[in-house]
Amino acid sequence: MSELILVLDAGTTSTRAMLFARDGALQAVAQRELTQHYPQPGWVEHDAGEIWDRTLACAREVVDQAGGGERIAAIGITNQRETVVAWDRTSGDPLHRAIVWQDRRTAPFCTQLRDAGHEAEVQQRTGLLLDPYFSATKMRWLLDHSEAVAGAAQRGTLAFGTVESWLVFKLSGGEHVSDASNASRTLLLPLDGAQFDPGLCDLFGVPQSALPRVCDSHGALATCAQEWFAAPIPICGLAGDQQSATIGQGCLDPGETKATYGTGAFVLTNMGEAIPHSSHRLLGTVLMQQGGVRHYALEGSVFVAGSLIQWLRDSLGFIVSAGESEALARSIPDSGGVIIVPALSGLGAPHWRAEARGVIAGLSFASGKPQIVRAALEAMAHQTADLATAFAADGAPWGLLRIDGGMSANDWMAQDLSDMLALEVERPDFVETTALGAAMLAGVGCGMFASLGEAAKAMRGRVRRFTPAMADDVRQERLARWRKALAAA
């Protein structure tokens, strides 16, 4: 049997194809940028045709390097979540630009639904909140504002899907499925329902006939048409990016938690087969589905993480590279009382204050670049500490935190996280955990591994541990100053 796994990682800013060996070794990578369209303030669109063309080009590049399609055992796909693609089933062509997860255009519709008193029931059933972030209101917008989409709906040829669904449709030549982890981000899938729900579809005004069939996260999910890679490669793993990273971090048992620090920060705790119900404004989501059985996660999303460092670099010119923040933080014993609340685009979990704005508190004449840069890095631990409190209050305390994402390369920040959370923090040497999770799913789905546990043992490499070393009074004093500054935001 061929032993290479092809992962397609269709992200927000770029799409990639990666080739993994059975032992987790990365054999080849191809990457293409995606064009970001901003037609109005707060609107973000992608060209779904471009996502497909560039993903296929990347895939063909690495399949050629592998020596042809027959060398590939299976394909795993992971993707930017919540983004909505509308296409015509007959032609296979997009009907409108894809509306991206960051897009805020449906805020008024969300407010209208919230004012009408629907949020509690929606949250109870789907684990989500009435926020433009999720897919259903974007689908409704397309039906209301695009003649092409409305026309296809009338003819009965409209297909909606998230990005993995779109890619599977194109690869397979017509299979219309969505894996449960992606489907659980739409507001249309009850956490305990096998398929999209007619009542929820009615509430958001989305025709159920346009939606994909909800399928497992691994197994024989679809097969690639011969024309793409000259071989009928099976598609055996599908997962939204954050769920995939959770699996790639080996968080396979209840209570195990990962935090990804990229542009924003996303924390997920495995909740096993118990449906999570948060009383602290965290999200309940499907982690994965196998043989129709679901595993769930509790999720906390923070909007601003690495983008704060980018802002210090690009808008303020305090640093030349993101990596420089580490040496500056180390050059001083503390931030000299400076605290930053990074609410530059509002506050996410557990506060959910869209109107909040950033604060820099505790400035004195002794405050310079190093103090402000250090305070920016310290803000990551402060935000994560608030999430830790919310997760614990929801019955999901963390025993260990596994970190990844571009920012996790910062050793000083990793140690500060460990210190401020009073927790062991673990970072894998191979930080591409999102792609690795999709490779693990595909590996199990094609029978290369008997279980995800076996896949994790074979494919996950070494990790580095950070151990808490901060005095409790120092930690408490910093958290007290953080809470004061937070109130001002």
- Distance CA(272)–CA(255), nearest Å, equals 8
Q: Is 471 left (phi over 0), alpha (psi -120 to 50) or beta?
A: beta
Q: Pick the closer one to ligand ADP by CB: 284 or 437.
A: 437
Nearer to ligand ADP, 145 or 330 (CB): 330
Q: Judged by CB, which is closer to ligand ADP: 86, or 401? A: 401
Written as one string, the DSSP assignment of 470-488 is --HHHHHHHHHHHHHHHHH
CB of 305 to ligand ADP, least distance (A): 7
The answer to whether 169 touches 175, Cβ cutoff 8 Å, is yes
Nearest-angstrom CA–CA distance, 13 and 59: 17
Question: Taking the complex as a whole, how short is the minimal distance between the CB of residue 428 and ligand ADP, in angstroms?
Answer: 14
Nearest 5°: phi and psi at 235?
-95, 115
**Residues sharing a CB contact under 8 Å with residue 24, sequence separation 6 or more, in sequence order:** 430, 436, 439, 458, 459, 460, 461
Residue nearest to ligand ADP (CB): 406
CB of 342 to ligand ADP, least distance (A): 12
| Nearest residue (CB) to ligand ADP, 18 versus 271 | 18
Q: Which is nearer to ligand ADP, 330 or 457 (CB)?
A: 330
> Which of 21/409 has CB closer to ligand ADP?
409
Q: What is the dihedral of CA 101, 9, 303, 242, to 10 degrees?
A: 100
Residues 99, 270: Cα–Cα separation, whole Å: 29
CB of 411 to ligand ADP, least distance (A): 9
Nearest approach, Cβ of residue 243 and ligand ADP (Å): 15
For residue 283, give the DSSP letter: E
> Nearer Cβ to ligand ADP, position 186 or 325?
325
In the complex, the smallest distance separating the C-beta of residue 231 from ligand ADP, rounded to whole angstroms, is 31
Q: Which is nearer to ligand ADP, 86 or 309 (CB)?
A: 309
What's the Cα-to-Cα distance from 143 to each of 139, 205, 426, rounded to whole Å?
A: 6, 9, 45
| Residues that bind ligand ADP in the complex, under the rule CB under 6 A | 13, 262-263, 306-307, 309-310, 322-323, 325-326, 405-407, 409-410
Whole-number minimum distance, CB 152 to ligand ADP, in Å? Answer: 33
- 3-class SS of residue 322: coil
- 309 vs 375 by CB, closer to ligand ADP: 309
Q: How far is the CB of 220 from ligand ADP (least distance, A)?
A: 30
Q: Which two tokens stand for residue 339?
A: 């605290």
8 A C-beta contact, residue 158 and residue 95? yes
CA distance 416 to 467: 10
3-state helix vs strand vs coil in the chain, percent to 5: 40, 25, 40
- Closer to ligand ADP at the Cβ: 87 or 466? 466
Q: Least distance in Å: CB of 429 to ligand ADP? A: 15
> Rounded CA gap, 51 and 29, in Å?
17
CB of 182 to ligand ADP, least distance (A): 18
Report the C-alpha gap between 172 and 168 in whole angstroms: 6
Q: 266: helix, coil or strand?
A: strand
Minimum CB distance to ligand ADP, residue 12 (Å): 7
Q: Number of H helices and number of E strands within the chain?
A: 17, 21
- Residue 78 or 410: the one with the smaller Cβ distance to ligand ADP is 410
Question: Both tokens of residue 348?
Answer: 């996410």
Q: Could you say which DSSP state residue 187 is in? A: S
Residues 296, 271 contacting (CB under 8 angstroms): yes
Question: Contact at 8 Å (CB) between 79 and 163?
Answer: yes
